Structure 1
Amino acid sequence: MEEINQRKRDHINIVSDDRAIDRRKAYFDRIHLTHRALPELNLADVDPSTKFLGKDLAFPLLISSMTGGADEELVRINRNLAIAAEAEGVALAVGSQRVFLSDEAARESFELREHAPTTVLLGNLGAVQLNYELGFADCEAAVQVLEADGLYLHLNPLQEAVQPEGDTDFGGLRNKIAAIVQTLKKPVIIKEVGAGISPEDVEHLLASGIKHIDVAGTGGTSWSMVESRRSDDPALGELFGDWGIPTPLALRMMKPYRHEMNLIASGGIRNGIDMAKSMVLGASLCGMARPFLDPARESADAVRIVLRRIKREFTTAMFLLGAGDLDGIKDREELILDEHWN
């Protein structure tokens, strides 16, 4: 479907070229962690490795959903991301796969298992599409083409409300999500796309059988702003450009539910220190997308350079917190100092 392919090309170009799209709110900078002057560790012995969906990861990073479609550059971006994710031992989620369900030419951009034979790959569809043309067979197809380890169903009411061609019927989705959870043989992960998930949302999602939630809060790429750039009337998208729950606050709001689910942090995470703070706030995995977009347009090696830098930052933060492994920081809010100190 050329309309969807063009939209995906527009999205990539807008996010890459328009600096105002990345809100850079730096909400994580308000959190100060307890520095250990005597960490009693050898930095070389710090182990940031983890497991996700039964697979080993070198450190708890997910390259978050970006793109995919019937376009040479979109195919190249996903291939570069997959090669880099495999080489550096991190997880990868693809952009919405709805496009390949209606355009066979887009299939190649999601056939990534040959480039990432062992690491975690996650498929992705918009949950709202369950109220339109998509059903279980489409979810199954999205998993199969990627040979995915799980499926993201993303929730994006703000983006759809602002998008010129948006689908805005979010009524009754809870039961349809529950039906997919019950029938799909792979884990279903719910994520927002930059506006956060509230405790009320979690109550509904847990009742639907969801065990993995990506809070995807505000602070980074604003999809409301992205869609404003595609609209003849940008005022609405600009007004809601910072709408939602900041990622650190969304993580803290999840505290009562951490024992019931795996929590993924994304939205405005830009370095290894942000990752460490997310883990302290209970996350099991941290997602980033924007830092990898421009490198992915260049090469897999360029993406690998960024991944190695972030891993070093994260490992250094662990060392300075006196943590030899992730158990030393995960869900350890006592490591947080007074957040109002400047």
Structure 2
Amino acid sequence: MINTTSKRKIEHLKLCAESHVEARNVSAGFEDVTLIHRALPELNMDELDLSVEFLGKRLQAPFLIASITGGHPDTVPVNAALAAAAEELGVGIGVGSQRAAIDDPVQEASFRVVRDEAPHAFVYGNVGAAQIREYGVEGVEKLIEMIDADAIAIHLNFLQEAIQPEGDRDASGCLDMIAEICPLLDVPVIVKETGAGISREDALLLQKAGVSAIDVGGAGGTSWAGVEVYRAREREDSLSEHLGELFWDFGIPTVASIIESRVSLPTIATGGVRTGLDIAKSIALGASAASSALPFVGPALEGKTAVAGVLSRMLAEFRAAMFLCGCGSIRDLHNAPVVITGWTLEYLTQRGFNVKDYAVPQDIV
């Protein structure tokens, strides 16, 4: 018999594949970011070095297939397709929340398949902040061991939890638990938002807590409040549907959150990353890597070849963006100037950030 958590996982996957679940009236902000074109790039586009060191692992490009699924028998081929593509193209990959495998060990296979198909890739595990209290260090270590993870992501999804009738709304003590668990684990800890972004205030708290990286998970991509609207309609839950509609676009957009989260930690830009140009803009703004989930959901249901096709296209776009900015390496792209305009400029100015510095090449600042 499929448990409640497992049932919810397959519901989420199907909704993301079949329904409009992206932000409706807010954007991730990439249209407000302009990379400075170099008419004389003085580079051979085919010889650019896209590789990067991320949390102790070498990636062929600064990109991760973000946490998507796992925890239901039907997700085994999905995760297999995602992992095989990640292995082939040398990028990282995360698994969906492993809670279902704790609730029902039979579901472990849906997560283990990722490491089986991607033996050399950077693979990270995934657990909710609300579950750390329940599982403790030993439980989290089991999740890491389950997939031989190179890192563990602790996800913050309290917007979704606030809307789900079965959601865990007790967020008290999460920061202390994160600070307690970080030094006890043998792998890096990534703290990731799931669509509402990370503020400068929280980035500083996470840095102090000892996390190894921050995944901003900003608004502008998949809305998990929106996903919950569809679930609420199916069970005729008018209150949850109302909350999901109201908070569909709630949060800090991704571009703004990248800058909010620029502390002395590696950051991952997630939320509305749809093209290689978005990846390039993320890196130029200071992210260590970018990641995306929704563009791979449909292809993953088709198989590895479809996933690899989408991923290859994004990496080709990324290479072209680097070339046109005159950047031969990821280090060069980190130092490339960008201009920020529009709503994002207004937001960041009101938040006290001096974005003019981004428009000047970082090696002469």
Shorter-chain TM-score bucket reads over 0.9
CA contact (8 A) 2:215 2:270 kept: yes
Q: Distance in 2 between matches of 1:20 and 1:226?
A: 6
Provide Cα deviations, 1:65-119, integer angstroms capped at 9, x if missing partner: 0110132x21111111111110110000000001001112101011132211111
CA contact (8 A) 1:70 1:103 kept: no
CA contact (8 A) 2:9 2:72 kept: no
Q: Distance in 2 between matches of 1:51 and 1:211?
A: 14
- 1:163-174 alignment to 2 at 5 Å? 163-174=164-175
Number of residue-to-residue matches in the alignment: 334
Q: Distance in 1 between matches of 2:260 and 2:22?
A: 26
**Correspondence 1:316 to 2:320:** yes
Provide Cα deviations, 1:33-55, integer angstroms capped at 9, x if missing partner: 11111111111111111121222
After TM superposition, the runs of 4+ consecutive aligned structure 1 residues lying more than 4 A away are none
Q: Distance in 2 between matches of 1:93 and 1:337?
A: 31
How far has the Cα of 1:195 moved from its partner? 0.2
* From 243, 264, 289, the counterpart of 2:250: 243
- 1:177-256 alignment to 2 at 5 Å? 177-231=178-232, 232-233=237-238, 234-255=241-262
| TM-score, reference length from structure 2 | 0.89
Aligned in 2, Cα 1:282/1:331: closer, same or farther, shift over 3 Å?
farther
How far has the Cα of 1:26 moved from its partner? 5.0
CA contact (8 A) 2:198 2:260 kept: no
How far has the Cα of 1:177 moved from its partner? 0.8
| Letter of the structure 1 residue corresponding to residue 285 of structure 2 | L
Q: Distance in 1 between matches of 2:340 and 2:294?
A: 29
Q: Distance in 2 between matches of 1:267 and 1:201?
A: 18
CA contact (8 A) 1:164 1:230 kept: no
| TM-score, reference length from structure 1 | 0.94
CA contact (8 A) 1:265 1:278 kept: yes
User: What residue number does 2:53 align with?
Assistant: 51
Q: Distance in 2 between matches of 1:207 and 1:262?
A: 14
User: What residue number does 1:304 align with?
Assistant: 308
Structure 2 gaps, min length 5: 344-365
How far has the Cα of 1:25 moved from its partner? 2.3
**Correspondence 1:15 to 2:19:** no
CA contact (8 A) 1:163 1:228 kept: no
| Letter of the structure 2 residue corresponding to residue 164 of structure 1 | P
How far has the Cα of 1:262 moved from its partner? 0.6
Q: Distance in 1 between matches of 2:339 and 2:205?
A: 33
How far has the Cα of 1:331 moved from its partner? 5.0
How far has the Cα of 1:13 moved from its partner? 1.1
**Correspondence 1:91 to 2:92:** yes
Q: Distance in 2 between matches of 1:34 and 1:206?
A: 31
Moved more, 201-210 or 296-305: 201-210
* From 327, 334, 342, the counterpart of 2:331: 327
User: What residue number does 2:287 align with?
Assistant: 283
Q: Distance in 2 between matches of 1:338 and 1:108?
A: 45
| Letter of the structure 2 residue corresponding to residue 277 of structure 1 | K
Equivalent residue of 1:69, what SS? coil
Q: Considering only aligned residues, what root-mean-square deviation do their CA atoms show, in Å?
A: 1.4
User: What residue number does 1:65 align with?
Assistant: 67
Aligned in 2, Cα 1:41/1:222: closer, same or farther, shift over 3 Å?
same
Equivalent residue of 1:218, what SS? coil
How far has the Cα of 1:128 moved from its partner? 1.2
User: What residue number does 1:121 align with?
Assistant: 123
Provide Cα deviations, 1:279-332, integer angstroms capped at 9, x if missing partner: 011001101000111111111111111111011000000000000111111154
CA contact (8 A) 2:28 2:253 kept: no
- 1:262-281 alignment to 2 at 5 Å? 262-281=266-285
